[in-house]
């Protein structure tokens, strides 16, 4: 927590000083009464606990958390086709995924500010480091603390899944930091899209299946692709919105490199591809996999809107794409079990 958020306003110490002066001239009882009054005033002047916590909840970016939940849910559904679910491992997998997502968000908040990518010109939701709601060092410590917690949960998963899970876990934690930090940050070199596709799609789904069944089949890999595509589409909207500010800051995202028109084409492909995948797979794995087609009208609406929107208006597309990702993923999980 920043000093700004956690300390009383300047008026509180002044009030205490004035009351102390009166107390020294009024005698014993008055001293106790006025001191108590000053303490009560100082306490009431502090921001309520909820208001101090609110910036941190925002920094966790709750709207991005389904990107961590969906691949685990799809992976669990795939595992349940052939194996009985281990509830404890399932919960640990979900917790680890959420912690990595939050840790990545906090690291991004800090490192984008330090690199100058988050400024007063920012078009997206407010970031606590850039807005001065928390000291940079505090945000950095929080990021590494959350990732360390993910590592602790991951240690249990390594015991369950062995060295493949160790490799996946270490790679995920390193990538979470390397996304915007280090000597060669992935997001600044146009690799953010690939990072999300791999770690919030293929790796997350396959890793969940591996933990439950001890093996990963071809179906798990194929059905991880729709999840990966839609998770990446969320990032594409974010980067499309920020093309101008990212370019000025030297943040060479894929959107900056290929331009707005090509980025919109990328978005269309990423949103359309999942429907092609489920139709093809349903031919051999059952009609239940066609259930996500229910979301096709929403996908068409999001594509049409994104083609027309720009700048801050793309925040609406960001929320819409995240909603599409969640609904498609949940219906895919249900379809897998149908």
| Segment 35-56, tens digit of pLDDT | 444 344 333 444 555 567 888 8
Tokens 């940050």: give the residue: 185
Q: Is the whole-model pTM more than 0.85?
A: no
Which residue carries 């083609």 as its tokens? 307
Distance, CA of 260 to CA of 262 (rounded, Å): 6
Three-state SS at 180 = coil
pLDDT confidence bin for 22, thresholds 50/70/90: very low
Would you say how long the chain is, in residues?
338
Q: Which residue has the higher pLDDT, 331 or 47?
A: 331
pLDDT surpasses 60 at 10:
no
Query: What is the mean pLDDT of the segment spanning 180-190?
Result: 89
Distance of alpha carbon 152 from the chain centroid: 19
The angle subtended at Cα 81 by Cα 80 and Cα 86, nearest 5°, is: 20
pLDDT at site 160: 95
Confidence at residue 50, expressed as pLDDT on a 0 to 100 scale: 57
Distances (CA, A) of 126 to 67, 71, 132, 210, 329: 20, 27, 10, 37, 28
Q: What is the mean pLDDT of residues 124-134?
A: 80
- Which of 126-135, 179-188, 229-238 is predicted most confidently? 229-238
The reported pLDDT for the residue numbered 117 is: 67
Is residue 173 within 8 Å of residue 100, measured between CB atoms? yes
Q: Mean of the pLDDT values across residues 291-316?
A: 95
Task: Tell me if 128 sits within 8 A of 56, measured CB to CB.
Answer: yes
In this prediction, residue 158 carries a pLDDT of 97
Mean pLDDT taken over the chain:
85
Query: Is the pLDDT score of 94 beyond 70?
Result: yes
Output 76-79 pairs: Cβ under 8 A, ≥24 positions apart: 76/208, 76/212, 76/333, 77/332, 77/333, 77/334, 77/336, 77/337, 78/205, 78/208, 78/209, 78/219, 78/220, 78/223, 78/336, 79/208, 79/209, 79/212, 79/213
pLDDT score recorded for residue 21 = 39
pLDDT of 116: 74
Amino acid 54: pLDDT: 84
189, pLDDT greater than 80: yes
pLDDT band at 19 (very low <50, low <70, confident <90, very high): very low
Burial of 273 (0-12, 13-18, 19+ CB in 10 A): middle
As a whole number of angstroms, the distance between CA 270 and CA 235 comes to 11
Distance of CA 315 to the CA centre of its chain: 15
Report pLDDT for 61: 86
3-state class (DSSP) for residue 61: coil
How many CB atoms within 10 Å of residue 191?
A: 19
Closest to 74 in 3D by CA, of 222, 265, 192: 222
Which stretches of 27-86 are DSSP H helices?
A: 28-45, 49-59, 66-80
Comparing 166 with 34, the larger pLDDT belongs to: 166
Measured CA to CA, the distance from residue 321 to residue 268 in angstroms comes to 11
Q: Quickly state the pLDDT bin for 57 (edges 50, 70, 90).
A: confident
* Contact by Cβ (8 Å): 72, 208: yes
pLDDT average, residue stretch 8-24: 38
Residue 204's nearest CA partner among 133, 297, 100, 308 is: 100
pLDDT at residue 262, rounded to an integer: 97
Contact between 332 and 292 under an 8 Å Cβ cutoff? The reply is yes
Between residues 8 and 235, the one the model is more confident about: 235
pLDDT computed for residue 93 by the predictor: 97
Mean pLDDT throughout 257-285? 97
- Could you give the C-alpha distances from 31 to 14, 23, 35, 40, 56, in angstroms and in order? 17, 4, 6, 14, 39
Q: What is the mean pLDDT of residues 249-255?
A: 92
**Least-confidence region, from 114-118, 210-214, 256-260:** 114-118
Q: Which of 187, 172, 177 is nearest to 71 (CA)?
A: 172
Count of alpha carbons within 13 angstroms of residue 106, beta-carbon side: 25
Which range (38-42, 66-70, 272-276, 321-325) has the least confidence?
Answer: 38-42
Hey, what are 51's tokens? 């208001």
Q: What pLDDT score was predicted for residue 95?
A: 97
Choice between 117 and 285, residue whose per-residue pLDDT is larger: 285
pLDDT at 206: 97
């Amino acid at each position: 927590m920043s000093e700004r958020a956690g300390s009383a306003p300047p008026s509180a110490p002044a009030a205490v000083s004035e009351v102390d002066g009166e107390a020294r001239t009024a005698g014993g009882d008055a001293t106790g009464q006025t001191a108590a009054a000053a303490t009560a005033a100082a306490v009431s002047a502090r921001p309520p606990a909820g208001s101090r916590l609110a910036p941190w909840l925002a920094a966790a970016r709750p709207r991005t958390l389904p990107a961590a939940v969906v691949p685990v849910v799809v992976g669990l559904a795939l595992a349940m086709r052939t194996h009985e679910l281990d509830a404890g491992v399932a919960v640990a997998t979900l917790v680890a995924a959420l912690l990595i997502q939050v840790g990545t968000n906090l690291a991004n908040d800090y490192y984008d500010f330090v690199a100058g990518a988050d400024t007063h010109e920012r078009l997206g939701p407010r970031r606590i480091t850039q807005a001065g709601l928390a000291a940079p060092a505090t945000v950095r410590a929080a990021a590494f603390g959350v990732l360390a917690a993910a590592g602790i949960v991951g240690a249990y998963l390594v015991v369950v899944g062995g060295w493949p899970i160790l490799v996946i876990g270490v790679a995920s934690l390193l990538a979470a930091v390397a996304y915007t930090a280090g000597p060669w940050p992935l997001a600044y070199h146009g690799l953010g899209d690939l990072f999300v596709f791999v770690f919030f799609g293929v790796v997350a789904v396959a890793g969940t299946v591996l933990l439950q069944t001890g093996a990963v089949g071809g179906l798990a890999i194929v059905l991880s692709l729709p999840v990966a595509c839609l998770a990446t589409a969320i990032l594409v909207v974010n980067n499309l919105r920020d093309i101008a500010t990212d370019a000025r800051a030297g943040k060479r995202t894929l959107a900056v490199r290929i331009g707005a028109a090509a980025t919109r084409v990328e978005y269309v492909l990423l949103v359309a591809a999942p429907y092609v995948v489920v139709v093809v797979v349903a031919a051999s794995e059952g009609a239940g996999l066609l259930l996500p087609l229910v979301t096709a009208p929403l996908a068409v609406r999001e594509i049409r809107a994104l083609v027309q929107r720009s700048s801050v208006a793309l925040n609406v597309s960001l929320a819409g794409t995240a909603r599409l990702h969640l609904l498609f993923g949940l219906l895919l999980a249900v379809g897998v079990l149908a």
